Amino acid sequence: MEQSIESYIKNLVRDVIGQSLGELQLQSDRQTYVIANWKMNKNLNETAEFFQKINSSQDVSVVICPPAQLLYPAHLLIKQSGKPIGLGGQNVHWADKGAYTGESSGSMLRDVGCEYVIIGHSERRQYSYEDDELVNKKVLHAIKSELTPIICIGETLGQKNALQTEQVLVKQLEGALKDIDSSHFILAYEPVWAIGTGQSATAELAQQIHAYIRSILKKIIGEKADGISILYGGSANEHNAADFSAMPDIDGVLVGGASLNAQSFDGIINVFAKGEQNS
């Protein structure tokens, strides 16, 4: 109870400060992120090898989201490396504690070194039947736990072909952000048809959709929408990263497959770091 009052006050203070700075917040102030979603991949040895090889950068926020079992070892490896890398979970439960076999709460993620958590990934929507209501409960819980949620939204191929992309995104956004009075979250636009297929969206299409997402976000949270980082996800790699990084509403990438290889992931980090140096 004491802890939830404390985090409520902390969030309130962060939001009041954020609000008063809001008017000064320009597009270029948005944080750029390169985030790895390892999904159900890698063991301890491979994790140690990855953190040894990865170079990282001071110019962009790099976050690695390993499977739950690798979070604490990854935390120790990051600390040991001294590299500026953040840690995130791939999922969180909505309750503080209790009889929820196999789940992890926000405070448990914090405890093992996480500052971020992916919520609403399309694979969880597909295989674990997570809907917008559940995504919203998890986002509320993550914010209360002082984790930054990385909220994933995106249409399926069927929805795209049926010209329902905008309506799907509005529903997912409104659903995920219901009763959220904080602007401490990251959005990831991940068209389901581009995830793991090798067929990324073109940077132009992604930019168009990101601008649309920001316009909807403005209706939901007002001017603070200008300060929210919107990442692209879906077959992003070291070869197409430069196209995405050149777009004004694309504030980084969420990377699956290409994040498993330290060299490829470094390539993506370098592209976005260069973009930041030039801006």
Output b/e per residue, 35-70; b: 16+ Cβ within 10 A: bbbbbeebeeeebbebbeebebbebbbbbbbbbbeb
Site residues for ligand PEP, window 34-63 (CB under 6 A)? 37
Q: Which is nearer to ligand PEP, 70 or 221 (CB)?
A: 70
Interface residue with ligand PEP among 70, 254, 271, 273 (CB under 6 A) is 254
User: Residue 133 catalytic?
Assistant: no
Nearest-5° Cα angle at 64, 59 to 70: 150
Q: Is 65 in the site for ligand PEP (CB under 6 A)?
A: no
Count of chain residues binding ligand PEP (CB under 6 A): 13
* Encoded tokens for 130: 């997570």
Please indicate whether residue 190 is annotated as part of the active site. yes
Q: What is the DSSP-derived secondary structure letter of residue 164? A: -
Q: Is 240 in the site for ligand PEP (CB under 6 A)?
A: no
Selected binder of ligand PEP within 190, 243, 251, 266 (CB under 6 A)? 190
- The tokens describing 248, both together, are 């004004």
User: Taking CB positions, which residue lies at the least distance from ligand PEP?
Assistant: 256
Identify which of 148, 250, 138, 261 has the alpha carbon closest to the alpha carbon of residue 190: 250
Q: Which one from 155, 190, 210, 238 is the annotated catalytic residue?
A: 190
- 121, 130, 141, 210: the catalytic one is 121
257 binds ligand PEP (CB under 6 A): yes
Cα 271 to Cα 121, 245, 248: the distances in Å are 25, 7, 15
Binding residues for ligand PEP (CB under 6 A) = 37, 190, 195-196, 233-236, 254-258
**Looking at the annotation, which residues are catalytic?**
121, 190
